[in-house]
Amino acid sequence: MLNALILLAGLATAGLLLWPPLARSRLWRATVTPLASIIGSGFLVLGPVLEHSYGYYAPLVMAALCAGAWAFGSAIRYNITIRMEGAHGRSPAEERLEAVASWALAFAYVISVAYYLNLFGAFAVSLTSFDSATNGRIVTTAIFAVILLTGWTRGFHALERMEQVSVGIKLAIIAAMIAGLAFYFEGKLTGGGLVFDPPRLTGWPALTLAFGLIVTVQGFETARYLGADYDATTRRKAMRIAQGLSTAIYMVYIGLIAYLFTPDEAELSETAIIDMMRIVAPILPGLLVAAALAAQFSAAVADTGGAGGLMAELTRGKVRVRMAYAILVTLGVALTWASDIFSIIAYASRAFAAYYALQAAIAAFAARRHEQAPLRAALYTALSAFGFVIAIFGTPAE
């Protein structure tokens, strides 16, 4: 019965996403890109990490992560307003900051591809008899080779359709998972079986781990780079909607999962969410693996294409796109065999935090120079400093 209800929730969500008025909506199409990026990998790792490390405080940490992402998103939305509409010229300092920010984003993309594909490898072997860290890394390396071969010979247009389809699959499976958690939570609540684990981390270690998780709510910045297809107003609205929806999804998800599992039921690993969901309902592990494989592969393709294009643009063609793909894959494979997934998550968080800090600094310059708004400039300056603190001090889960 529970499996049927979970499937019904997933199918209902898929039907809603396919509903013609929504599917044809220009604003919704612009929203899907940042929304898919924000919840693409976070839902696979955030639940176990927050529950394991913060116990009953997990929802508060989730709320803080979403609030931080919203603050950085506001700086990027402000930059869209000031820059993308071409209303103001740029100062030399702003031009230099924009160039540095673009390099930071390209570097962040390199690490994020390693993050996505390491999750792909871990989930690909998770339900098989070959479930081990080494075999997961072998699968990850093989997928890196597939991506390099595809990008080198044909480009990624052949894979774009999979990326579009995976968004709907992922959102439908997330809805099914939350429905399963809600039914399980209701049973625990009425039976007096909710679990209130104390936090394992407090103080500075707890704070620096939260810094190292910022990548799990990253992705809203993709709206900034849709200028070829959407105007500035649409991109700002799309980013707000994507961040609002992802915040609601994450808060419900973490609010449910934080009080359901005892420490022995929630051992921390890359694929811990599968063991948790196996307790909730037999159907969920298979669905989660399907979502993970589709989501991580499509996200890796998107970020590989983005990184290659950025590198070619920033070097003015000295590094060709195909060579950029080779550089990315080489670095990604090196990260795969030299680090564990939680270290890669922390590296990616630091890289994206540096990018957000630079975007906040650009917003501060713009507020001071173009609008003579000293209070706004001071707020964005403080936000930029906070971003650099995250970049310096973020640590991985253990």
Residue of 398, 345, 347 whose CA lies nearest to 41? 345
Residue of 244, 226, 243 whose CA lies nearest to 235? 226
- Model confidence pLDDT, tens digit, residues 100-140: 888 888 888 888 889 889 999 998 998 888 889 899 999 99
The answer, yes or no, to whether residue 337 has pLDDT greater than 90, is yes
Mean pLDDT over residues 245-253, rounded? 93
Give the separation between CA 111 and CA 20, rounded to whole angstroms. Answer: 37
Contacts with 363 (C-beta within 8 Å, 6 or more apart), sequence order: 75, 76, 78, 79, 82, 380, 383
Query: Which stretch of 148-162, 177-191, 202-216, 318-332 has the lowest confidence by average pLDDT?
Result: 148-162
- Model confidence pLDDT, tens digit, residues 153-189: 776 655 555 555 667 778 888 888 899 999 889 888 8
The answer, yes or no, to whether residue 284 has pLDDT greater than 70, is yes
Q: Residues 239, 35: contact at Cβ < 8 Å?
A: no
Query: Which stretch of 11-25, 317-331, 372-386 has the lowest confidence by average pLDDT?
Result: 11-25
Q: How confident is the model at residue 336 (pLDDT cuts 50, 70, 90)?
A: very high
Q: How confident is the model at residue 88 (pLDDT cuts 50, 70, 90)?
A: low
- Model confidence pLDDT, tens digit, residues 32-49: 778 877 887 788 888 889
Query: Which domains are assigned to the chain?
Result: 2-393 (1.20.1740.10)
> What is the chain's mean pLDDT, rounded?
85
pLDDT value of position 158 = 54
Mean pLDDT over residues 59-69, rounded? 95
Residue of 168, 141, 126 whose CA lies nearest to 32? 168
pLDDT value of position 287 = 85
pLDDT value of position 221 = 83
Please tell me which of 20-34, 83-97, 319-333 the model is most confident about, judged by mean pLDDT: 319-333
Q: How confident is the model at residue 264 (pLDDT cuts 50, 70, 90)?
A: low
Give the separation between CA 107 and CA 358, rounded to whole angstroms. Answer: 14
Q: What is the CA radius of gyration of the chain?
A: 21
pTM over 0.85: yes
